[in-house]
Chain A
Amino acid sequence: MFNRLLLSTVLGGVLVAAFVAAGGGVSQAQTSQAKKWTVPRTPDGQPDLQGFWNNTTYTPLQRPTGVNKEFYTAEEAVEMINKAAAAEAEQTVPGTVEDVHYDFTQFGLDRSQAPLAQNLRTSLIVDPADGKLPPLTDEGRRRQTARAEARKRAGGPTDAVQNQSLSVRCILMDRNGPPMLAGAYNNNYQIVQAPGYVMILVEMLHGPRIIPIDGRAQLPPAIRQLEGSSRGRWEGDTLVVETTNFTDATGFQGSSENMRLTERFTRVDADTILYRFTVDDPSTWTRPWSAEVPWRKAVGPLFEHACHEGNYGLYNTLAGARAQDKREAEASASKPSK
C-alpha cells in the first residue's frame, strides 16, 4: 500500500507540474495555437492525424452535482485529478463487491499511469451548457422501460451467455463506440490515412474503424451495424465523420438505432487531437447534445487485444452459476418432503 501511495504522490506531482506549466486547458490552447500551429500534411495533402493517441480522462461525461461552471481553474483541475487518482490507488474494503477484483495499480492500469491530455472542463458534455444529457423524449422513456422489461424476460445475466453485455462478451466496448470514449484502461488508438480512407485502430478488441472519405453514400438504410455506417469528409483541417445505420442493440447512453452521430477530429497541436461529437437522436432526446475530449499523443505500437480468445472470465462466471444451480438443486432434493 505504501508503494502505491508513493507512486500516486509521485505521479500526482507530475500532473501538477504539467498543468501548472501549461497554465491552461485545451480550449485556451486551441484558440492561442490556432494562430501559430500549422497542421502537418500527408504526402497527398490531407491534414495529418496519423499516429498513436490516447483518450484517457478523469472528466466525467456529465457535470457532477454541485459543480456549476464549465471550467475548473488549473489548480482545481489538479485537485480533482489527484483526488480521483488517490481513490483509484486506495485499498478496497475486504468483503465488499469492489474488493473482488485485482488491483488496478499493481498492473499499471489506473489512469495516473496512462497518458493524459490537459482538460479543464468539468464535464465532457459541452452542449447543453449545463453539462448534462438533455431530457428524454416520451419515446425515449418508453424505450428505456421496454428494454428493461426485455432484459427481465430474458432471465438473469448468467442464465444465458447472450444475457451478458456486449463488452463482457468481447463484442463491443466503449473505446470502440462510436462515439469512442475512454474506459478504465487501454484507451489507445492508431490513426492511419490512405487516399480515400481514414482507419482508426482501437486497441481494445483490436477493432479497426475503416472510414471512407471519398464521397460515397452511406450504406442503404436496411443494412444496420453495431458500429453503424461511417463516412468522412474534410471541413478545413477537421475530419468530420457522420455515422448512421446503428442497431437497436447499440444503445449509447440509451440511444435508438436512429442516432445520427457526427464526430469531429481536429489536430490542435503536435500532441493533441480535439475530439468532439454530436449526438442527434430525436426519438431519444429532446435536443441534440455534444461532448468534447482531447486525445493525447501516445506511445506506439498498439498491442494485440484478443479478448474473446482469452475470455476465461466468461466461462468462469457461467460455470460458477451452474455450480450454484447444482448446489441449490441438491439442497432442495435433500429436503424432507412434507
Chain B
Amino acid sequence: MRTTFAAAIAGAAILFAAAPTRAHHAFSAEFDISKPLKLQGTLRKWEMINPHSWFHVDVKMPDGTVVPWLIEGGSPNQLIRLGVTKNTLAVGTEFIIEGYQARDGTNKAVGRNFQFADGRTLFLGGSAPGAAGADKP
C-alpha cells in the first residue's frame, strides 16, 4: 500500500464540462485547490452526519505507520432514503481517494472521487437497494 500526494491528473487535456456549483458552502474556502492529493487507506468509521458526511480512513505509510485522515463526502439523508446504512460500507473497506487537502494543513480532505481498491467507483446512490425506485412515491 502506498500513499501518493501528487498534483495528479495535471495536464489532463480531456474536455470536461463544469458541473454547476450547488454547494452548501464554498468548499474551496475549506480545502486548498493547490493541494490535490490521492491516498489509499481503509475505512475505520463513517460519520453519516449533516450537513456533510465524514469518512475516517486509516492510511498506511511506507514505513508501516498508520496515519488517520478525515475525508468529507455528501449529506447522508438521500442515501438513507435509498437504503444505504452505515453498514453498507464495511469497516476495513479499502479506498483510493482523490481530493484536496484542508487549508489548515491538517489531515482532512474533500473526497472528490472515491474508488474501491479494484478500481470500481464508489456509487452509493446507484448501487443501493431501492435506488431504481428513487423517483417513485
Interfacial residues of chain A within 282-313, with CB under 8 A of chain B in the complex: 296-299, 303-307, 309-313
Closest A residue by C-beta to B12: A94
CB pair A311 B51 closer than 8 Å: yes
Closest A residue by C-beta to B51: A307
Chain A residues with CB below 8 A from B78, complex form: 107-109, 113-114, 185-186
**Chain B's interface: helix, strand, loop or mixed, by majority?**
loop
CB pair B125 A310 closer than 8 Å: no
CB pair A100 B103 closer than 8 Å: no
Q: Among A1-9, A40-48, A248-256, which stretch is in contact with chain B?
A: A1-9
Interface size class, chain A = 35 or more
Asked if B28 is an interface residue, CB under 8 A from chain A, the answer is yes
Contact of B77 among A1, A93, A103, A303 (CB under 8 A): A303
* Complex-state Cα separation, A304 to B50, whole angstroms: 8
Asked if B36 is an interface residue, CB under 8 A from chain A, the answer is yes
Contact of B50 among A114, A299, A310, A316 (CB under 8 A): A310
Asked if B54 is an interface residue, CB under 8 A from chain A, the answer is yes
A313 with B33, Cβ < 8 A, contacts A106-B121, A322-B104, A324-B103 known: no
CB pair A3 B134 closer than 8 Å: no
CB pair B134 A101 closer than 8 Å: no
CB pair B10 A305 closer than 8 Å: no
Contact of B75 among A15, A185, A271 (CB under 8 A): A185
Interface size class, chain B = 35 or more
Q: Mark A63-89, 1 if CB is under 8 A from B, else 0.
A: 000000000000000000000000111
Chain A residues with CB below 8 A from B72, complex form: 102, 312-313
Select the residue from B53, B134, B136 with max chain A CB neighbours within 10 A. B134
Asked if B105 is an interface residue, CB under 8 A from chain A, the answer is yes
Chain A residues with CB below 8 A from B22, complex form: 104, 183-185
Chain A residues with CB below 8 A from B47, complex form: 310
Asked if A242 is an interface residue, CB under 8 A from chain B, the answer is no
Chain A residues with CB below 8 A from B123, complex form: 3-4, 7, 105-106
Q: Among A27-35, A163-171, A328-336, which stretch is in contact with chain B?
A: A163-171
Within the complex, what minimum Cβ distance (angstroms) separates B89 from chain A?
12
Within the complex, what minimum Cβ distance (angstroms) separates A161 from chain B?
12
Contact of A320 among B32, B36, B79, B80 (CB under 8 A): B32
B contact residues vs A (CB 8 Å cutoff): 8-10, 12, 16-33, 36, 47, 49-54, 70, 72-82, 84, 100, 102-106, 108, 110-114, 120-126, 128, 131, 134-137
Q: Closest 10 A-B residue pairs measured CB to CB? A: A108-B125, A320-B103, A107-B74, A184-B22, A310-B49, A297-B137, A319-B104, A168-B25, A323-B104, A7-B126
Q: List 21 A-B contacts (CB under 8 A).
A: A7-B126, A18-B135, A88-B20, A96-B33, A100-B110, A102-B111, A103-B112, A105-B123, A105-B125, A105-B126, A108-B74, A110-B125, A113-B78, A113-B82, A114-B78, A167-B24, A168-B25, A185-B74, A299-B136, A310-B49, A313-B51
